[in-house]
């Protein structure tokens, strides 16, 4: 056949330049197939005829056909090998990455991560452990020590303070502690970080500590960016020239830039969960006994037979605490602010029917939906064959951020501050050894903080609830960090799901811890699917205090049941 390429000529063509794309490769494979077919037809007897064949001839023809089929199959295998080699040698395809691994998708650092560092560091800086050390140093000053303090086994060298003065001294020291540690300016944050951001705080990093200079630069850049910083966006929306207003030499202006540039890392939900954990009720029971007042209700006072002699070193403090009652926040005032910030209510004899002017009625639903979506994301994210979708969480973050910003008015700055100072001082008193001797807690229980044993002992004495206060402490600590990261992040302008994915992975310990503590305290699992929640009449959206009251009543009925 004229112009037909021989097999030898095709073999020489294997050394030709590789095709530029996959189309050329497929065209060459088609040419090989057509050439093989033409070669078979060109042979003598290529189209065998079986007309008028005797049986012997027919058998021989079948055998010959089988041989040709086998030969064609071998040629097809060779052609397949040539195509595969061509694919490997193709420049257009050799640079394509073909590696497959079961590994979680990686991401770089996000702009808001430096804010999360600040929240982690400063909420840790105002923890009870640091606060307890600060007050003990203030009470145990040693003039002979190099730094003014003699910490190991120190004893107070200053004259005895009368009751009212001792309480005022501790109260001022508590406010000074919060002033020193609650803000997140670029300079203050690194005084707490011991020179570097450790691996636990830098959770999205490469597993190494971040240098102080690098972290300070990133925080300063974040605070100066309108796109990332929620407070900068607010200032730009309200004031045409914020610097001119904030630096004006007037006695009563918008205060200074400190109010906006140094927001305190305090969230009122911390005080709410401490109140639900019976911290205030424990102190109230002790002060009633101090005044020889019997508790309300039937039966004898559980504290009536206790002698207060072990409390004598703290007599002055309790006296000052009672005298200062008019200047402290009332439970009703705190209840109104809980409702204003989060739509949360308190139940109890001391709480009248509230008539709030403004309430965040949708906060609980939005926040618990966010936690449920976070739990679903973690389940998918742990499956390395799936890329988890973070867009539902991003939308919930924007919703909760809006609800939190709506409640950031009126007493938003000052009431959480005063509530935190008062409750931290109550924790300090309950952690004293005299209180442990008075209430005789369970010494073999390893509480994370020393004041918890006194609260749990009082719960058992009063028959309040058998749920340990440590779970309420987890709700307070984890809830505060979660809400701070939502409140001060500029989620209104966030449209990239990688921001939500980074938030979920960074705050996973706090989110998972909050879900578990809420389940332990209220009996409601926030990670339940929607169908399971509807079967239980949306228990996830009921007030936490409603669940706690029901569990308290159930426990009291169990104690009163005949045995």
Assess whether 86 and 149 both reside in one domain: no
The two structure tokens encoding residue 362: 């949708």
> ∠ at Cα 47 (46, 49), nearest 5°?
130
Q: What is the pLDDT of residues 120-143, one digit of tens each?
A: 888 888 899 999 988 888 776 554
* Confidence category of residue 99, pLDDT binned at 50, 70, 90: low
Say if CB 456 and CB 160 are below 8 A apart. Answer: no
Q: What is the pLDDT of residues 498-512, one digit of tens each?
A: 889 999 999 999 999
Mean pLDDT along residues 49-54 = 50
Say if CB 189 and CB 119 are below 8 A apart. Answer: no
Range of the domain at 209: 113-176+183-261
Mean pLDDT along residues 211-228 = 57
Mean pLDDT along residues 440-446 = 82
Higher pLDDT, 179 or 164: 179
For residue 383, the model assigns a pLDDT of: 84
Q: How far apart are the first and last CA of the chain?
A: 108
Q: What is the pLDDT of residues 8-34, one digit of tens each?
A: 444 444 445 444 555 565 566 667 666
Q: What is the pLDDT of residues 502-553, one digit of tens each?
A: 999 999 999 999 999 999 999 889 888 764 545 445 677 788 887 887 777 7
pLDDT for residue 457 is more than 80: yes
Q: What is the pLDDT of residues 238-261, one digit of tens each?
A: 444 444 433 433 333 334 444 444
Assess whether 293 and 391 both reside in one domain: yes
Assess whether 250 and 289 both reside in one domain: no
pLDDT for residue 479 is more than 50: yes
213 occurs within a structural domain: yes
List residues bridging with 141 in a β-sheet.
149
* Confidence category of residue 328, pLDDT binned at 50, 70, 90: very high
pLDDT for residue 197 is more than 70: no
Quick one: angle between helices 497-506 and 508-522, nearest 10? 60
> Based on the number of CB atoms within 10 Å of its own CB, is 442 exposed (0-12), middle (13-18) or buried (19 or more)?
exposed
Residue 467: CA count within 13 A, CB half-sphere: 27
Assess whether 252 and 276 both reside in one domain: no
58 occurs within a structural domain: no
The domain boundary, picked from 22, 57, 90, lies at 90
Does this model's pTM top 0.85? no
Higher pLDDT, 201 or 342: 342
Assess whether 367 and 400 both reside in one domain: yes
Give the whole-angstrom CA distance, residue 369 versus residue 365. Answer: 6
Mean pLDDT along residues 408-420 = 89
Higher pLDDT, 387 or 398: 398
Q: What is the mean pLDDT of the chain?
A: 74
47 occurs within a structural domain: no
The string of DSSP codes covering 142-186 is: -TTSTTSB--TT----SPPPPHHHHHHHHHHHHHHHHHHHS---H
Higher pLDDT, 370 or 304: 370
Q: What is the pLDDT of residues 270-312, one digit of tens each?
A: 999 999 999 999 999 999 888 888 887 777 888 887 776 655 6
For residue 119, the model assigns a pLDDT of: 87
Say if CB 434 and CB 310 are below 8 A apart. Answer: yes
59 occurs within a structural domain: no
456 occurs within a structural domain: yes
pLDDT for residue 194 is more than 50: no
Assess whether 542 and 479 both reside in one domain: yes
Checking 233-240 for CB contacts under 8 A at 24+ apart, the result is 233/490, 233/492, 233/493, 234/260, 235/260
Domains held by the chain: number = 3
A 10 A CB-CB count for 53 gives 13
């Amino acid at each position: 056949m004229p112009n037909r390429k021989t097999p030898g000529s095709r073999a020489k063509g294997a050394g030709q330049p590789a095709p530029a794309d996959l189309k050329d490769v497929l065209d060459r494979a088609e040419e090989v197939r057509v050439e093989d077919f033409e070669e078979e037809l060109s042979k003598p007897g290529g189209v065998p005829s079986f007309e008028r064949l005797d049986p012997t001839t027919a058998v021989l023809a079948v055998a010959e056909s089988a041989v040709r089929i086998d030969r064609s199959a071998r040629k097809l295998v060779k052609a397949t090998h040539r195509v595969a080699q061509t694919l490997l040698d193709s420049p257009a395809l050799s640079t394509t990455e073909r590696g497959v691994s079961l590994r979680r998708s990686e991401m770089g650092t996000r702009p808001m991560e430096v804010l999360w560092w600040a929240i982690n560091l400063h909420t840790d800086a105002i923890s009870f452990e640091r606060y307890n050390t600060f007050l003990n140093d203030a009470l145990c000053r040693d003039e002979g020590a190099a730094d003014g303090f003699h910490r190991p086994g120190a004893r107070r060298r200053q004259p005895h303070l009368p009751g009212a003065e001792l309480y005022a001294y501790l109260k001022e020291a508590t406010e000074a502690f919060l002033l020193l540690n609650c803000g997140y300016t670029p300079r203050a944050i690194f005084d707490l970080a011991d020179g570097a951001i450790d691996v636990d705080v830098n959770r999205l990093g490469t597993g190494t500590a971040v240098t102080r200079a690098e972290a300070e630069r990133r925080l300063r850049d974040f605070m100066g960016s309108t796109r990332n910083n929620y407070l900068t966006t607010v200032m730009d929306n309200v004031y045409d020239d914020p610097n001119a207003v904030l630096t004006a030499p007037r006695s009563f202006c918008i205060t200074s830039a400190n109010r906006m540039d140094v927001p305190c890392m305090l969230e009122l939900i911390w005080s709410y969960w401490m109140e639900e954990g019976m911290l205030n009720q424990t102190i109230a029971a002790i002060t009633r006994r101090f005044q020889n007042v019997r508790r309300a209700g039937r039966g004898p006072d559980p504290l009536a037979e206790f002698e207060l002699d072990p409390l004598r070193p703290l007599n002055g403090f309790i006296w000052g605490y009672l005298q200062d009652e008019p200047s402290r926040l009332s439970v009703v005032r705190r209840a109104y602010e809980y409702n204003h910030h989060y739509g949360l209510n308190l139940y109890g004899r001391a709480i009248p029917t509230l008539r709030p002017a403004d309430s965040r009625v949708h906060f609980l639903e939005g926040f618990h939906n966010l936690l449920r979506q976070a739990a679903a994301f973690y389940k998918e994210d742990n499956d390395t064959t799936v890329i988890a979708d973070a867009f539902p969480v991003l939308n919930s973050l924007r919703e909760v951020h809006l609800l939190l910003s709506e409640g950031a008015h009126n007493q938003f700055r000052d009431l959480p501050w005063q509530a935190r100072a008062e409750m931290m001082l109550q924790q300090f008193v309950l952690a004293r050894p005299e209180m442990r001797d008075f209430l005789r807690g369970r010494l073999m229980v390893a509480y994370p903080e020393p004041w918890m044993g006194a609260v749990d002992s009082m719960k058992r004495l009063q028959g309040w609830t058998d749920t340990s206060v440590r779970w309420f402490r987890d709700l307070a600590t984890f809830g505060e960090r979660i809400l701070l990261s939502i409140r001060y992040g500029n989620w209104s302008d966030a449209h990239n799901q990688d921001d939500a994915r980074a938030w979920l992975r960074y705050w996973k310990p706090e989110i998972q811890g909050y879900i578990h503590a809420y389940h332990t305290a209220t009996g409601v699992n926030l990670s339940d699917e929607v169908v399971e929640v509807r079967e239980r009449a949306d228990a996830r959206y009921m007030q936490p205090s409603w669940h706690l009251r029901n569990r308290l009543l159930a426990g009291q009925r169990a104690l009163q049941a005949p045995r």
